Each structure stands twice: as C-alpha cells, then as structure tokens.
Amino acid sequence: MTLTDGGEAAQGGGMFEAEGAGAGQEVVENPRMERLDWILSRSPFLAHPGRPVWVQCDYGDGKWVWDASVAGPRYDSEKCEMKSTEKCVTNGKPDNGYLHWRWQPAGCNLSALDPAEFLRALRGKHLAFVGDSTARNQAEALVCFLSTVSRPETAHRYEERLGRKFWRWVFPAPHNVNISTYWSPFLVRAEGKSEDYGMTQDTVFLDALTEPWTADVDGMDVMVISAGHWFPHPAVYYDDGVIAGAFSRPDVNETDIDGGFLGVYRRAMRRTLEYVSAKSSGGDKLVVVATIAPSHFDARYAWNHRDACSRPKPFEEGEAEVASSEAELRKVVVEEAAAAAVQSRRRGLRLEVLDVTRMASMRPDGHPGAYITKEAFAGRPVPETVMNDCLHWCAPGPVDSFNDILMQMVRASG
C-alpha cells in the first residue's frame, strides 16, 4: 500500500492502494547498457571534463548516524504550504527521533543545505520537479526550508481533483527564483487512475510526450525527475497509435508488454531524457534524475494496522535489503542516465543521478504512518485500524537529505 498523490490513498478498494513494485516481476536485461553501469555504480554524479575531483563522491553509499547536535526541526512545516499529511510534527508523531538522524556518506561529508546559499545559486532561475507525488514531496520540503530566509508567493496554474497537479512558488527579488511541481507519474501521457482515483487502471501512451511539463522544459534551468511508483499499476500501453501490450490486465485480450512494467519504465525514462535533450536550447541546464525511494509497509501487518508503519528508528546495516523490484527500477535510472549523458553533454546539459534508493530504504521511521492529520489522536492511543502513509516522507525528515545532495549538485554545476 502507498498513498497516492493528493493525500488520498487506496488499498483493496478503500482509500489506499499499493504503488510499490511487486515482487517476482520480469527483470529487463539490456546488454548494450551493461558497459555503462560502472559510470554511475560508484557515484551519483556523471563525470564531466573539468569538474573538480572533490565532487566525485558516492552520496548514495553511507549510513545514518545519530546527530545529538540537532536542536529541533530545520523548519516549521505548519507555516508552509505543503500536504498536511507530511506535517508530522504538527500532526503529533511522537517518536521525533526521526529528526536527529543525519546521512553520512562513506567517502566524504555531506553538509546540510544552506537556504540562503541555495537561493543565491539559483538566482534568476527556474527549478522544476517533474514526476509523481515523491517529486512533489521533495519540492514542498525544499520550498518550506527556503522560506525560512525568504517568503515565496504561491502561483497556482490548476489544482484539479488529484490536487497540486501544478504549483509554482516565486521567491521575490533579489532572488527571483521559481520552483515548480508538475504532476506526471508516467512522464508520458496517461489516462485513467492517474487522473481519476475512481478508476482501477491506466492507459499509457508511450510515444505521447504531451504532458504540461513538456511545454516548459526549455525554460527549466534545473529539472528534477522523480517517478517510478505508478509503473507497477495495471495498464494498457499504446505506442505509435497501436496497442503495444498490457501489464497486470487479465481482463483484456492483449499480450503482456515486452519487459513488463520495468520495460515500460525504461522506455518512458529513455524517451523523457531524449526529449529534454532535444528541446533544450543549450546553455547551462542541470537535469537530475532521482532513483526510487522505497516505501515501508511492514508485511507482517495489514496496510491499515497501527503497526504497519510504526518503527521508531532506522534499520541497522544489513537488517533490511532493497527489494529486487526497486533495485531494478534504480538500475533503469542509472543505465538510462549514463546513456543519455553522452548526447546531453554535447548540447550543454549536465545530467546527474540523485541516488536515494539505499539511503531511503533504511528509514522506515521517517514516514507519517498513522499521523496524517493535525494533532492526530490528540494524545489518545492509536486505534488498531488506521490510515497509514508509509510512502511519503515527513517534512522535516529524511527527505531533507535528498535536498542536501541536490544542493551539492547545484553547487558543482557552478
């Protein structure tokens, strides 16, 4: 089970439904890509001529360490416009130890994002987050932290039933920084559940790059792509005007899509990166592709059990492994980004991978869990049956470490 975007979620016909990749799915083998895997296997940064050696650090490899120097939350989410389900402090999440863990990379140090420095680095630029609700989660946490030094104005293009399909925050002069979110869970055009939670499946058009983000891509100075949780959903796929196959749709008389949902993810990611490269007019664009951040619904319990997401501390080293399906989703990002980097560099684009899969997999304590409403339970015991969010991240919380790494990428880009 995972929460869907907009705070609603689905499971077995209720409000909640699993978005995570199912176990036992076919793994996509792509021999032509294997030779490129090493480029990113040791570093979330793609090598660029002239880049200082000090930025070549594998921020995705490390451990969570207790930081006793943390005095409290980085920012007050109650003062920010973000999904209320992610305001864990306001919602009364009692085990606030999740605020005191710091990500320590194995081969270097990772400093906390400095809001003033971040705004200076992006002065006069547009930062866009494109993808599913994990993209929005990261964007809202970043905007809230930045608002501690400059209060942004909020511009809404449209906000339909899904909620927050497009938001833009404008940080006024002297910063003149725009930060936007674009709801596009498949990156390509889709109809069905991703637009209407009352439906049970999606129709995905693999060759239709007509999402709202595509019209604005040339004006994005920094683009963060974060998608993956919707691809294991039941769907029928079209390519070049004809049905290319289906996934998890026994009700339709169509063959299974080649490569399963992992093959679809690869196609969508490849075409997205090709489109971004082709439609960017050059200059100094930074494109960041995030790997999947796993959810943490404890398989020992039903999705709506109070202990499905109640662990109060991170996993220890070796205590939990990344699921095979999530490891394969990560591998797709690593490989496709490495392949795209060659062409992108010729067009003046810098392409990086924000590798959060392992670090996120170790933080079951960092989700809202049952605390998804303001002052949830008001000190009363948590009932046995509750709504749970074990996909999105508390803000402040582990998601801030994703933005700490993003700051390093922005800084390295000059």
Nearest to 89 by CA among 394, 295, 312: 394
Catalytic residue, candidates 43, 133, 184, 401:
133
Instruction: Provide CB contacts within 8 A for 133, sequence distance 6+.
Output: 3, 4, 5, 6, 183, 185, 229, 391, 392
Catalytic residue, candidates 389, 400, 401, 413:
389
205-208 contact pairs (CB < 8 A, 24+)? 205/237, 205/238, 205/239, 206/237, 206/238, 206/239, 206/244, 206/264, 206/267, 206/268, 206/271, 207/238, 207/239, 207/240, 207/271, 208/238
The answer to whether the beta carbons of residues 224 and 255 sit under 8 Å apart is no
Catalytic residue, candidates 295, 310, 392, 413:
392
Catalytic (active site) residue 133: yes
Tokens encoding 383 = 């009932």
211 bridge partner residues: none
Q: How far apart are the first and last CA of the chain?
A: 40
Q: Please, what is the angle between helix 324-346 and helix 31-41, to 10°?
A: 90
Cα–Cα distance, 260 to 281 (Å, whole number) = 34
Nearest to 334 by CA among 58, 140, 18, 111: 58
What does residue 153 show for φ and ψ, rounded to 5 degrees? -95, 145
Tokens encoding 161 = 């039933």
Tokens encoding 304 = 């709506």
Cα–Cα distance, 11 to 58 (Å, whole number) = 36
Give me the active site residues, please.
133, 389, 392
